[in-house]
Structure 1
Amino acid sequence: MLQIIYSLTAGGSCPPLIDNQVEHFVQKLKFQFEDLLWLTRLSSAEMAREASAAYEALSARERYAFFLSPAVFSEMFRQQRSGKTPDLRGLIELCVGESALEASARGQARERWNPLFAKAVHAGGVEGNTYAAPLLGGSVTVDLSSPFCRRSDMTSPVFFGDFVPFTEEEKAQVLSKLSAAFAEIEATAPIFARIIRNYTRVACVRKREGALPASEQVSDEIGAIRLLNVHKPEYSHEQLMDDLIHESVHNLLSTYEYLEHPFQIVGGESDGDARPVSPWSMRPIRVLPFLHAVFVYFAILHYTLKRMERGELSAEQQRLALKRRNRYASGFLMPGKLSDYVKPFSNVDPRTLHAMDQMQQIIRRKFSPPSESRPENVAVAPAGGAQYQPPVQKGATP
């Protein structure tokens, strides 16, 4: 946990965890895939053979990419949670290497994509149409049109409603803005660029008329982020930088929870209806998003401070950065410990609670006024006063 906190300060050196977690993630998914194959052989030997053959046809590099795919993680997550006999058809469909794409190109005109949605044959159902997706930072797929991006999800602010394709001009605007945002992140805080490259493999970008810009990450699709209306003028350069960091930190934290331990311990004395009030938005939110938010605000606050320290901002940019700094710092400066906002209402792992309070202490030290000697005639309140109890609303809409 200490390595995560250090990395989110945008410090100079990169803790080993930032790279090592990716290796551990791939290895753990590989073991789970092998477990699924074994279980499938018990009920459908033919499907197991088909899945094994598709996987064995991949090169070592393609297998690595297969396990990095957010769609593969999502499908395996779904299979394990279903409690039913494994159905590997979804994974077989994603088990596509260069040789399989070449074979598909010579076959029937059925659209096929590689696991990271960076390449397709018969794209859009057009026979012979090959497609290579643009890459952000040389490795992050900017997904504008794959089936993974075209889905509808009525619970998502980004995937809500039907898919609407971008015009060529809009695509150019999306890529230009994403490239500019990533370039400044890399110049300002290289460790955040590394976190984006390592933990965001696919950035799904959608558009919807009449909707405000939005971003999100979902924990059962580790490796993906979702962005809405990047092409719109309302999606500012500053907001896009923050959102790339914001959602990639969610992926970093979700990876840590998957590999090490969940932040929120399921069952026990946890109240599933509890909604702690966020000290940043003053809105009630669920406990796990609250826990993640502390890390996210810690990261984007440090990024804003790094931007301001570089001394390259115009007067207007500096003014806007100052507003962002104050907003991101505000929650850490509220009364009481951040851990006290959630501790009475949910069974949170003690390591997570300690990390939250550590981050709060770091920010409070940064923003504390210089210590001054107290005049002798100023009375001091006695110790041991009533403990601060942060407000909590139950059952409220986040």
Structure 2
Amino acid sequence: MALDNETMQGLLESVARFVRERLRPLEHQVAREDCIPAEIRREIAAMGLFGLSIPEDYGGLGLTMEEEVRVAFELGKTSPAFRSLIGTNNGIGSQGLIMDGTEEQKQRYLPRLASGELISSFALTEPEAGSDAASLKTSARRGEGGYVLNGTKRFITNAPHAGLFTVFARTDPSQPGARGVSAFLVEAGTPGLSCGPIDRKMGQSGSHTSDVIFEDCHVPSDALLGGREGQGFRTAMKVLDRGRLHISAVCVAMAERVIDDSLRYAVERKQFGQPIAEFQLVQAMLADSRTEAYAARCMVLETARSKDRGADVATDAACCKLFASEMVGRVVDRAVQIHGGAGYIADHGIERFYRDARLFRIYEGTSQIQQIVIARNMVRDL
């Protein structure tokens, strides 16, 4: 349910102030220590940010898609690790449960996800199943009173801290591709479930990923998401539409932050007796970045509004993800160029955004997968 304008504006101002006063001063510390301070997690929980998209009936704020991306426009103007902490609870880690879970499953988990008591993870990707998610090999064999899971998931965001995993596994090996895949809700601490070492990544320090390993991991029958086999891949695809819009909004936010930093630097930095902002080639880089970020913002808002109206936005969400993630890569590259040598030095933070932004073109579906989705849907809808 949409918030009234006054309440929504208050939320946006609170998030913007929190980013400005609490999160930005910690960016270098988080990058250096690869860890978000515990008090920040508590403050994020107290603001209700773990439950932005979770319905009010289960303790969340129940934001519409448009409202969620407007919050992401503010929250994304700092290190992406902070947004990543709440990202799975509001996106891929909860939406499958919201869309397709049983009422008992929703009552059991959603209030704890909304409060931040539980961190969720979306365990789909495998060593040999990334873009081709339908080829996953993790198995879920029927056992006494439930299922036995075996397999390995890879690059799973928030896995080292998760209390609940949405796990995709093949329940019917006789069914090829997507049709034999089901989804399970598996709690951390279940015997047979373990996480590998935290991955060392190019960027996004403070946001942790790792392997998730299942070795004869027994789960009860009521762990089957929605109580139905063979629906897992369909659930995953529905979840990714919303996730792609959210990530697109974060790309817009990072671009706007970096453009603001670049503009301030260009006005203050002098060469040949004048600010470099007076040079036309610098102005061209600033103008191109502003234009592309504005275009991406408009795309995301319009697609979010369409989704709230009940439209099928699979194609448009893929367009947003493709354009916004490629756009922010170009923007941060120009930012390094505008900053010159300072842009290459870690003290200024621009090189950190350059590395952080690179991941957006890979997760939630690579740019190449978005192109395939868009083109196939165009042909289908002809």
Same fold by TM-score greater than 0.5: no
Q: Which has the larger radius of gyration?
A: 1
**What TM-score, normalized by structure 1, do the two folds share?**
0.27
Say which structure is richer in helix. Answer: 2
**What TM-score, normalized by structure 2, do the two folds share?**
0.28
Say which structure is richer in strand. Answer: 2
